[in-house]
Amino acid sequence: MSPAAIPLRENRVKAAAMPLLAKLVFPLSLLAFIGVYWSLLGWWFAIGITGSVLLHEMGHYLTVRRFGFKAELPTFLPGFGAFVRWTGGNVDSGVRAIISLAGPLFGFLSGVLAYLLYRETGRQVWLAVAEFAGWLNLLNLTPVSIFDGGAAMSALGRHQRTQILVFSLVLFFLLHDYLFLILAGGTAYRLSTHDVPAEPRQGLAVYFILLAAVNGLLSWYCAHQGYSFFRNL
């Protein structure tokens, strides 16, 4: 066998193995995510919060696919969350915003599902999952680059950003949830930037506000049902 044949064979093995490894990232990272939270917070909460994060990410994944772009199944990072890799050239800011906001929408639905399980079973763990889901998805609306709200805010003009800022402050004074102050602070920062689109999307501003409202209210409501995840850590 010539020396040149060895690297060639290794390249073929790598080429054959890469698709398999790519397919294994989703299930293996999912199991690792469950395992970390199982060791910290118990089996049922681990299943619940993993399901909530999975549904959030599937919102991104399905919406990306609906617009005809390529996407990979979610990759989970224990202790941090998860993300979906996707590709699309010259994506309109409005489309990118819809893809970004699909996560908090599906995440909210996961919280509602957890709350319904609580009502059906009486198990406090599902109430905790519902509260955490609302909190996590509200946090994800923070309009900075690492969160879903960052991309969504890029489709909004100064008028729409001001609406979100005022709304966030009103909800903070009503619900006393400091996440709304974080949302307001991030929005105030985005008002000072120069990334305003030529054609702002008022409908997306309403969508953004509604998602913040329902996720914040879900977290607040569950926390006032006699058991709070954050007070019982």
DSSP state of 92: -
Q: Which of 167, 175, 180, 173 is nearest to 206 (CA)?
A: 167
The C-alpha atoms of residue 4 and residue 97 are separated, in whole angstroms, by 50
Q: How far is C-alpha 172 from the geometric centre of its chain's CA atoms? A: 21
pLDDT the model gives residue 164: 98
Bridge partner list, 75: 83
Rounded to 5 degrees, φ, ψ at 172 are: -65, -45
Q: Which of 55, 56, 52 is nearest to 114 (CA)?
A: 52
Q: What is the pLDDT of residues 65-109, one digit of tens each?
A: 999 999 999 999 988 899 999 987 788 999 999 999 999 999 999
Residue 41 confidence class, pLDDT cut points 50, 70, 90:
confident
Q: Given a cut of 90, is residue 226 above it in pLDDT? A: no
Q: Given a cut of 80, is residue 4 above it in pLDDT? A: no
Q: What is the pLDDT of residues 138-160, one digit of tens each?
A: 999 999 988 999 999 999 999 99
Q: Given a cut of 70, is residue 1 above it in pLDDT? A: no
Residue 51 confidence class, pLDDT cut points 50, 70, 90:
very high
pTM reported for the whole predicted model: 0.88
Strand-strand pairing, 70-71 and 81-83: unpaired
Which ranges in the chain belong to alpha helices (H)? 5-41, 43-66, 93-121, 124-139, 148-153, 158-175, 178-191, 202-223
DSSP state of 136: H
